[in-house]
Amino acid sequence: MKNKLFLLVALLLINGVLIWQMVDRSKATPSSEPVSIVEEEIVEEELPAPTIQTAIPLQQPEHPYEKSSELVYDMETKEILYANNIDTPLGLASVTKTMTLYILMEKIEAGEITLDDTVVLSPHFFQKYQISGLASAGLKSGETYRIEDLLKAVTTVSANDAAVALAEALGGTEENFVRMMNERAHRLEMKNTTYDNATGLTMPDEYNRASARDLATLAEALITNYPQILQYTSLTGHMMPNGYYAKTTNLALEGQPAYLPYIDGLKTGYTIEAGQNFIGTGEIEGTRFLVVLQNAAPGDPNAKVAKFHRTGELVEQYVKPHIAKKNEEK
């Protein structure tokens, strides 16, 4: 009899506990209301201040420029070896597209886009840029193109149609992509930079500007974070699927008229308003360096080639002696 009473009490206690748990859970999460999920606020990581923005040039020019600029930079020691008017915002021309390369590499690494993805070029480019003789890859509105082909068209022939196609692939529209360009410039502390379009072409109320210091900041960030970009900037040409051969505008590369054996990129640019521009990068004895030229050799009828000759002069005058001195101090 006692055993039966004991079992009865135990059963009553167990049932009581179960009922209490059910009531408690129903109070905590009423079944009639969906559970609301609060999304975590994403705060973009602050980038460290680029060293080049605070670097004091080791050598100043005898004759300061006003409408041109030159900068030589050692990416290993973070030293500006030579500077001439490096904080004045000047016209960019197609050097603008260096920022396009940076954003594209950023999106690829984040897994938001791949080199095999495709984009359909909208009519926007042909409606806006009705300029004869501009660099292009022969793209057509409404046709589909691979991201990697567009990348190669930009790094070789500096194709404006390919640049706008990438802008639309990355930002939806050129206008929205330009906002992205300026946002990245702000994050990189490019204090004297303004982008108005994705091509660098001079248009009504659109003229991209940046200082040589800012361009070196961007180039250093691009090469440091995405060194694979050098395999594209060192290309001397690329056959597009439409049969157009995109030939490099970087005449300092191997096999070109102004060949410099240590140069493996990065970006050229020219418009009548901005003049001849070049961000060059290369490596000598393990030291990677940058040479930035804006409005190079103004007035020289052969300025297209002269800017590469000037690059070579600056390397001989500043980079090679600097490397020799470093080697002596080791």
As annotated, the binding site includes 267
Burial class (CB in 10 A: 0-12, 13-18, 19+), 327: exposed
Catalytic residue among 68, 69, 136, 158: 158
97 is a catalytic site residue: yes
Binding residues for substrate: 267
Which of 306, 266, 257 has the alpha carbon at shortest distance from 289?
266
- Total number of residues shown for the chain: 330
330 is a catalytic site residue: no
Catalytic residue among 68, 97, 107, 234: 97
Report d(CA 133, CA 56) in Å as an integer.
41
Catalytic residue among 94, 136, 211, 234: 94
Report d(CA 319, CA 312) in Å as an integer.
10
32 is a catalytic site residue: no
Catalytically annotated residues: 94, 97, 158
